[in-house]
Structures are given as structure tokens and as C-alpha cells.
Amino acid sequence: MQNQRITDTVIPMEQKNVITPSTIINGEIQGQGDLNLEGQFIGNISIKGLLFIGKAGSFKGEATAENMILEGRVEGMIKVTAKIEIRFSGSLQGNIFCQKIAIAEGAFIDGEIRTRKGKSLAPEYFEEKRKGLLSAKTKK
């Protein structure tokens, strides 16, 4: 299980929710399934599955999820019960509370990172595969 990336969980389609890039929402979301945020959301999110914030997505508020993948922008507090993965395009201004964290080269974080139960934090750093493939092609 060491250094494994978060993948989309096998959740029935009726439990997957998508907020599209053309959508702006102010409010609160609670649920059991996964949430793919490609639009803009201001408020609170509390889900039991994977919170995926895509490159076009932005979030301002407090979010609680089992796992999280961040490719877009977040301003606020993030609470993840398992693992958060911040990809190279991800930007976070705020605090993170998590069990595990993986941070890609190029990601931006301005805030504090804390683990639950006082465990010492040893972030996993990784290079995006697509980014690595592009740089390998240019070296040839």
C-alpha cells in the first residue's frame, strides 16, 4: 500500500455526482458517494467517498471526505479521513487535516498540514506520469 495513487472507487453510477464547469453553487453538500467538482462551489461539503476537484474546479469553504484528489483550486479547510493527493496543477490556501498526503512537484500549498492522532507526517512526493512522459520525449 505504500506510495499508491488514489484511484476512482468502484461506486455505482447513481452514487457519483458531477458539478460541471459551467455551474456555480453556494450551499452545502452531504452524501455517501463520490463527488467530481469541475465547477465552482462555495460552502461546505461532507461526503463519505472520493472528493475530486478537477483542473477547472474551485472550492471555498470546509470539506470533509474519505479521500481527495486536488487538481484545481481550494481556499479553506480540508479534512480527509484517509488520503489526499495534490497534483501538480493543484492549489490550496488553507489547512489540511489528514492521515496520508501525496504532493506532486509543482503543487502549491499555503497553510498547515496536520495528521490525525499526532502521528508524524512524511508526505509522499511524486511526479505526474504525463508530465514525466513529456519531459522524457523532449530529452531524446
Tell me what pLDDT residue 131 has. 55
Tell me what pLDDT residue 37 has. 95
Tell me what pLDDT residue 87 has. 95
Averaged pLDDT in 10-residue chunks for the chain of 140 residues: 54 69 94 92 95 96 96 97 94 94 93 75 63 49
Domain ranges of the chain: 13-139
Tell me what pLDDT residue 80 has. 96
End-to-end CA distance of the chain: 33
Q: How far apart are CA 74 and CA 60, in angstroms?
A: 6
Tell me what pLDDT residue 16 has. 72
Tell me what pLDDT residue 140 has. 47
